[in-house]
Amino acid sequence: MTQHTPVNTNDILTEVRYEIRGELAHRAGELERMGYEIIQLNIGNPGLFGYRTPETMRLAMIENLAASEAYCHQKGIFPAREAVVMQQQDRGVMDVTADDVFIGNGVSELIDLALRAMLRQGDEVLVPSPDYPLWSAAVSLNRGNPVFYDCRPENGFQPDPDEIESRVTPRTRAIVLINPNNPTGAVYDKETLASIARMAEKHGLVIFSDEIYDAMLYEDAVHIPMATLVHDTLCVTFSGLSKIYRSCGYRVGWAVFSGERDHAQDYLHAMELLASLRLCANVPGQWAVQTALGGYQSIGDLVAPGGRLYESRQAVIDAVERSEYLEMTRPMGAMYAFPGMREPVRAAFDDQAFALELLEKKHVLVAPGSSFNVPYRHHFRMTTLPLPDVIQDVFGRIEQVLDSMDLG
């Protein structure tokens, strides 16, 4: 038998973590193949929980399939980009045109392109902790160093502009904001965002603002588009169809470049070069953008009292309040909750061990809090997408697992 040399892997992958689809998810797949039904709460995937894309978006795709067979412009089809421009203008961002919009295969691809076009070996990017780990992974994959700034539980997971500025060095190139936040559901206030904008302008940092959950808000929460506050540096706003319009599989996202752009022309040319190398984004899905942004915003019904997202979130809040073990900062946006352990049992709790026990014994899959680049191990993230009765059942199983663990 031929002795084969092992196929090497890229060393840079040692710095990459994405445990949301990691070993626990693989084990969940094994259990499913054994015949067990797993309640998968590790990923915010609306289609898995019965949410449907608005019918008008599906029809827009079907009616334009004949126009979707050729490559389109590397930045995307004009009607989609122009619809994004109109949305930005409605929100008060007046200095953008269709040339400032890139359509991608989801926001994930655009995050990679935006960082690849910018970073050189050892450049630093400020990333929140907890973060959506795609951001820190993409920084590492593109030769940069993620530098985490703390959004502490005791502060409601809000960023501290002074603490962020203390982490700026001569190698810092950009700062990432995720608002509304994944995994915590925090929504940032205008004063905090304005302070971060002034800090970024002072140090010449690019602002990457991930706003994919921008209309998924509860109670009196208000989303402030970062681009409305940034004037003297470059701001890149990321959003898309996947969450607000319940169409993850369409893989349609966009990045909008606003603010001061004269000093960033080389960077914008690099973005276009990278977009050209991958030819174009998925064309059929782009035809749904204009209909989505210009049509009836059904997300408002879902997040209002009585709406499914609102009531499911409330079911999580109620279950945590009843728990002997759990506490939680009330999520004001997005589709996640980030419960943690109360002080008396916190020291004895390990998020990885709990998540594995919950999966093996109760067939519920959650993401350990440490998956989101935090220094503590007493939180876990779950999506709030299931129906309220499923959430009640899940928390019953969670309490049983916690009862069985030695947390004294």
Tokens of residue 138, six digits: 């993409």
Residue type (1 letter), 264: A
Residue 187 buriedness (CB in 10 A; 0-12 / 13-18 / 19+) = buried
Tell me the pTM: 0.94
Domain residue spans of the chain? 11-52+301-404, 55-294
Reported confidence tier of residue 20, pLDDT bands at 50, 70, 90: low
| Alpha-carbon span 323 to 341, nearest angstrom | 10
Tokens of residue 65, six digits: 């399939």
| Alpha-carbon span 136 to 163, nearest angstrom | 19
CATH topology of domain 55-294: Aspartate Aminotransferase; domain 2 (3.40.640)
Tally Cβ neighbours within 10 Å of residue 6. 5
Residues shown for the chain: 408
| Alpha-carbon span 59 to 50, nearest angstrom | 19
| Alpha-carbon span 256 to 252, nearest angstrom | 13
pLDDT value of residue 8: 79
Query: Could you give phi then psi for residue 342, rounded to 5 degrees?
Result: -65, 160
CA distances 305 to 310, 324, 331, Å, are 6, 27, 15
For 65-98, write each residue's pLDDT tens digit.
999 999 999 999 999 999 999 999 999 999 899 9
| Alpha-carbon span 76 to 170, nearest angstrom | 35
Measured on CA atoms in the order 144, 136, 278, 213, is the torsion positive or negative? negative
For 281-298, write each residue's pLDDT tens digit.
999 999 999 999 999 999
Reported confidence tier of residue 2, pLDDT bands at 50, 70, 90: confident
For 45-60, write each residue's pLDDT tens digit.
999 999 999 999 999 9
Residue type (1 letter), 263: H
Strands 234-240 and 206-210: parallel
Query: Could you give phi then psi for residue 217, rounded to 5 degrees?
Result: -130, 150
Class of domain 11-52+301-404: alpha beta
| Alpha-carbon span 116 to 114, nearest angstrom | 6
Output the CA angle 211-214-216, nearest 5 degrees.
Answer: 135
CA distances 152 to 18, 189, 223, 381, Å, are 21, 16, 20, 15
The residue-averaged pLDDT of 261-268 equals: 94
Measured on CA atoms in the order 386, 251, 294, 176, is the torsion positive or negative? positive
